Amino acid sequence: MTGRPGPTTRVRVRRLTGATAGDRRDDLATEEPLEIRVASPDGARRTVAITMRTPGHDFELAAGFLHGEGLAAADGIAAIGYCTDEDVPAQARYNTVTVRLRGPVPDLPSLDRHFLTSSACGVCGSAGLDTLRDRCHPLPPGSVVVTPETLYGLPDRLRAAQGVFGKTGGLHAAGLFTAEGELVAVREDVGRHNAVDKLVGWAALNRRLPLDRHVLMVSGRTSYEIMQKALAAGVPVVCAVSAPSSLAVELAREFGMTLVGFLRGRRCNVYAGYDRVRELVE
């Protein structure tokens, strides 16, 4: 592929309906690798991540990833662009992003092994809670109050904003909402964690961090990686239509976050941070 990949890819399929068969076109969610590189003013550069993602909002994805991993804040980024280095073949240039930093490339042990990620599992070997404690602090209580009625409306509002999902049926989404349930921004990707990175990257590049007055709603389940990214962005309330992992709940409770799971219809489970859901019926 020499052109810029899009979020959807059209293919021919054979559809079976009962005893009949017919050929038709179908739209799939595109999945392509993205290599994230960082470069410093002195010319040093390094690959920090290779992830499988849905093309689109690639610069936000890079910025959000670096912020979530504590590698570069928004004010530490001078520019982001697709890579034109000589070692990158023409067909891969839209799959390689270089983030030019204002300072030196971070000298962190994690960069020595790179972050190898997939569209499914998040960052492999991601920093544990001990490392997270060194760079993140518990969120203050009481900054945001949500009602059950607000929570119940989030899944439908997120789904209505998923334009690419409507074509393919195969994408995750992350939506940023106000405490009153108004949609602020939404991003889609084949990977749950990538969708969150794109959303955080949007906020970082638009100087809207921390997101301490907002609610994050994600499709699928809530993993440790998603909670880590939300914490780094200052998000106090994280909701999902499916279940959280045990480590996600542990992180939420330790850092004072509200975590809502199985948010479907007019039901949900609140796993942590009950104080932010005011009208909770015991």
Distance of alpha carbon 48 from the chain centroid: 17
CA distance 201 to 209: 10
Residue 263 assigned ligand-binding role:
yes
Residue 24 assigned ligand-binding role:
no
CB 188 within 8 Å of CB 165:
yes
Closest CA to 182 of 160, 212, 205, 150: 150
CA distance 149 to 265: 10
Residue 8 tokens, joined: 């959807």
Residue 266 assigned ligand-binding role:
yes
Q: How far lies 189's CA from each of 23, 77, 117, 245, in Å? A: 27, 23, 14, 20
- Peptide bond before 236: cis, by omega within 30 degrees of 0? no
β-strand pairing of 214-218 with 172-178 = antiparallel
The residues carrying an active-site annotation are 121
- Which residues are CB-contacts of 281 (< 8 A; sequence separation ≥ 6)? 148
CB 216 within 8 Å of CB 176:
yes
Residue 264 assigned ligand-binding role:
yes
CA distance 100 to 104: 10
CB 173 within 8 Å of CB 190:
no
CA distance 235 to 227: 9
Residue 265 assigned ligand-binding role:
yes
Residue 267 assigned ligand-binding role:
yes
Query: Which residues define the annotated binding site?
Result: 262-267
